[in-house]
Structure 1
Amino acid sequence: MLHFKKNYKNVIRKKLILYFVVSSVIVNLVGFYTYYNTRILTYKLNTIFTNDVNLTNLCDTIDSVEASLKAYLTTSHSTDLQDYLVSSNNLRQMVTNLKTTLSNNESDLLYVDIKNMLFTYLQHTDFAVQEKRGRNIDGYTDEFNEATQVYNYINEYIDKLKVVEFRENNANYLRLSNELQRLQFFNMIILIVGLCVNFVLVLLFAYRITEPIIRLSKAASEIAKGNYNIPKIAVKTNDEIKTLAVSFNRMAESIKKQLIEIRKKAEIENRLKQQEMQNIKMKSMLDEAELRSLQAQIDPHFMFNTLNAAMQLAMFEDAERTQLFLENFSNLLRYNLGTISIPSTILDEISNIESYIYLLKERYGRKFEFNEYIEDGIPNLQIPRMTLQPIVENSFIHGINEMESGGVISVSVKRCGDYVHVVISDNGRGMSKETIDKILSDNHSSLTKVDSTGHKSQSIGLRNVISRLMLFYHIEKESDVIEIESISGTKTTLKLPIKREET
């Protein structure tokens, strides 16, 4: 029985999870790429607007410092001073945070100049406030004038910076617009590629799962139709589908073996039934043979003729001959009255023929001769009872009975390989081919003839003998157990197989 080295548990579930994870990763990567590029574009756009806002706030703060300073110098009011201090601190902080990149870029150079001028401007405004608080009119007036002059330069540079940044921002906007178009194009390409990859994964995954299932379904349909000669389902994936395919192959093989066993059992049962029918047929033939044998043995005419001959012998011959005659007659009766279903031996059959021939010779005198040859070392085979006598009887009745003299009946027993051949021949009138074919094929070929005394004598049919030999040796063809030749007389050859235990 097949055992798995590995336990493929929930492999399909893991594959599904892996597919969804891969699909999600692809979608998220596409989304992250789009988000990242969008953030970069947004940052660049924000930078454009942030610079404008910062410059605007810077201008407003400078104006606030200028206005609060002028108000304080004019009114000396503490509120104006407080406003100045707040505005100047805000401006100072903005100046500190103002970018100053050293490069040849015009806007960067302007930022550096504006930052330096703002520091100068705050110095003048602070000195002006100090001179004001020290009540030095000439001092704060000069400082205020210097601050105002720097203030005008600052506004002039800021306006110039706005123009420069406008040109740069316009160029940046056009560049960002082109980048946005490219980004949209790349996003579309990536989206299509992602969809295609997902589609291919879906097809591949679906094919790997459904293809062996479809083959299993077709194989199951073939089995349902009664076709068990189907190839094994081979699955390359190490998952539940492979387990299912292996189990299905084992099931199909098991069903096929069980079907073969059922057919073998059916054949055996059929053979047993045929054997039983043969046994019944053989028993019927044995019963028929026994009945006919018994009828022939106790036929009143046969008994009368035999006893009449015995009385004549008793009158003209010595008592020893009469005793021998009666002894052979007794042996013949004893053998014929035996149970026909019990097998006999070939030597017992020969002995029975000798008794039968002796009685015939005493009845018919020198009408015929009997020749017998038994090869030395012949196995004493078991054969059905009353096998040879019916053939000898038919040779006499149908062969030489009508001859006045010169009749010959011969019996020879020889070994030929794994067989013993018993040949019974006569020099009588013989038989036609049609008669031979009838004997070998007719199930009711009991032959009947009237003997020379005018009384009817019946013999056991040759067909009955042939059938019993075929059943006894389990032979199917008549030609394998008997041969009948009729050229000048009749020659009947019985082919008896030698069993191992009889060798």
Structure 2
Amino acid sequence: MKPFALPAKRFRAMPLKEKARSFSLASFCVLFIFFICCTAALAYYNFSFKRLFDASYLQSDAMGRMSDLSRAIAAYESAPNTESRQQIESCFQNGWELFNRFPDDPRQQSEELRMLKTAILRTYATYEKSVQELFRLGSYRLHTTDYYLQYYETVEIGDYIDTYLEQMLQENLREGQALYRTQSRILHIAPLILAALLLLSAFVLLHVQRWFSAHLLSPILSLAEAARTLAANQMDIPDVPVCGSDDEIGDLTRTFNRMKDDCRSLLTAQQEKEELTRELYEERLSHIAAENQLSAAQLAMLKQQINPHFLFNTLTLISQTAQQENAGETGRLIQQLSILLRHNLYDRQDRVTIRQELETLYSYMYIQESRFLDRVAFWVDCQVPPEDYCIPTFTLQPLVENAVSHGVAPREAGGVIRIKIALRGALLRINVTDNGVGMDKAVRGRLNRLEDVPAGQNNGIGVVNVARRLELLCPGSRFHVASWPGLGTCIRIELPLSWAKRQPEGKGDSPS
């Protein structure tokens, strides 16, 4: 069994959102471990020096407090009063608070420092008792021989404490020098350690990226390549392999394979229709019978048309989104594409309510806005109750798609596409307007005359199809194209209210 064979199989069975989340989590873990290692090293380095600096500061502060205490005792000897005595007691209290702040953890100080601290505390306690004895002798307000002996003994004890503090400070300085030498050696190799960790992180991230690309991006690229081939009118291509994937990509692949088979069937039906038309004309059959058969075949064919270019662009967008974004956005794109394909492939109604048509259009616009970002904007202004009026199915999307592909997309700054639906007298008017590159007079004339687009050109195919379907499904409808090069295009559709107004339940056919 190949390495990672079991994880790869399990990865293919995961939903697309979980795959992207796994990739993000793996990348985060690698970067987090790298960050923790660097932070721990810096914290240890800073803690070592901070401990020495704190100890030196405490010892220097203690020496200053001892000097204040010596001066207070000398002042008491000169003028033994209550104020000087209170000052000495305050100095002793502050000294005890300071000495108690000395570190107690054996791991943070040497044996000599612990011995010096013990000696200082004991001597300081003796120093305080000696001062109390001095207070007692001084309370008689007679400077006897015992008083002076006690005073000099107190001063001598204070000198011992000063000596201990100086020894402790010197010991801290020696420890600091030793720590500095050790840290200096570490700092010399720290860049090498950091570079090794960085290379290791980059190596792990590279392998995670390659694994992610092989199991997620490769199926999308295969699907995009098949869509490109299908867009070149090469229908005889094998099905895109699903590769055992049970996620959204697998569902999309299966849908694409079904769509490809439908397109192939439609092409065969088109060829058969053309052959039948020639035979009908050769046999000089009734014009009305021939027109009815041709109209029925055209209607069935036009309702099933799918633009492979749009599908290819959408799949390419999904591939890019999977690399740059998290799974939430990709899931929404696939969901909107599924709604759009389901409507285009399986909707067999001749007409639908404006609400149903707008729901499909919103899915299409969501995909295009994700593709073009800020270059394309859509505005929908529906001034009629959308559930009370009907239009031929698959009417708005081809017009908006034509405005995007041939009006706004070629324009570097992009543009805005506006869809307005309103009542004008006895007509339901639909305007699809864009401020794109527009079209010349010749193309505009062909569209208004509903002429076939020359071979090799795609501009206007969907627009002509919509106009022809309007003629077939809605007698009395109007279709007009107005366009100016560099200014934009406006396509107007007008439907009689007698046809567009939705009939109440039970009084006629109405879309469900």
Q: Which has the higher contact order (CA 8 A, sep 6+)?
A: 2
Max Rg structure: 1
TM-score, L = length of structure 1: 0.46
TM-score, L = length of structure 2: 0.45
